Chains A and B, each alone.
Chain A
């Protein structure tokens, strides 16, 4: 079965850039989606199809995907970006799959 690997935590100072990775075998051949989840709230889609942003999501959120790693980049990080972030892909054997999640801490 297919597996996705995310770092458990990422820390960043306000104003700096946070990069959250999602590793998987040849993940570059798959479409990757990213979700933000704040405590006690439902997930929110922040990037879909590797690099597209839904309406209402700031341009500070961007995505890339190549080889064995997909990356969610958050530029000019704000305190309000502190949350858990999950990547998601579709695989023919595992079907819909989420990464384990990364807790973004804004120092």
Chain B
């Protein structure tokens, strides 16, 4: 079964850091691009970041650029999102999603995890 399992969310103070992880199983992780999409409470979907299958191309939304680093370890079938200088606006459920192809640009996301919740509050 194709599966994505996010972890690493939690309560963090403003200015703090978190590293989210997404463990993939049931497919050849190294051949697909991956993305993070978040959803603030009661709001719509917001794309955060994407990475190509080999990890050589990354993209970031303007709202997180400079504060977030996306990486992947294909030997461990795991995607990571390092988030620094967190703000209240970063409070959301963070979903990991698989691209239908090796790149993320313009490609649909056909598999989603159940999400991990990040709460930024003092």
A residues at B contact (CB < 8 Å): 30-31, 33, 35, 37, 42-45, 48-49, 54, 84, 86, 88-90, 95-101
Contacts and interface: CB of A to CB of B under 8 A. Distances in A.
Interface of B: 35, 37, 44-47, 50, 59-61, 95, 97, 100, 104-110, 112-115
Nearest to A99: B44
Contacts of A98: 37, 44-47
Contacts of A101: 44-45
A1 to B, nearest CB: 8
B96 to A, nearest CB: 9
Given A33-B108, A101-B44, A42 B35 contact: no
B95 A86 contact: no
Contacts of B110: 45, 48, 54
A99 B45 CA distance: 8
Given A43-B45, A86-B45, A95 B108 contact: no
A43 B112 contact: yes
B contact face: mostly helix, strand, loop, or mixed: strand
Interface centre among B60, B104, B110, B113 (most CB of A within 10 A): B110
B50 A96 contact: yes
Contact of A31 (B59, B106, B112, B114): B106
A95 B61 contact: yes
Nearest to A95: B59
A42 B113 contact: yes
A44 to B, nearest CB: 7
Nearest to A98: B45
Nearest to B104: A96
Contact of A42 (B59, B60, B115): B115
15 contacts: A42-B112, A43-B45, A43-B95, A45-B109, A48-B100, A86-B45, A88-B109, A95-B60, A95-B61, A95-B105, A96-B50, A96-B59, A96-B61, A98-B45, A99-B44
Contacts of B97: 43
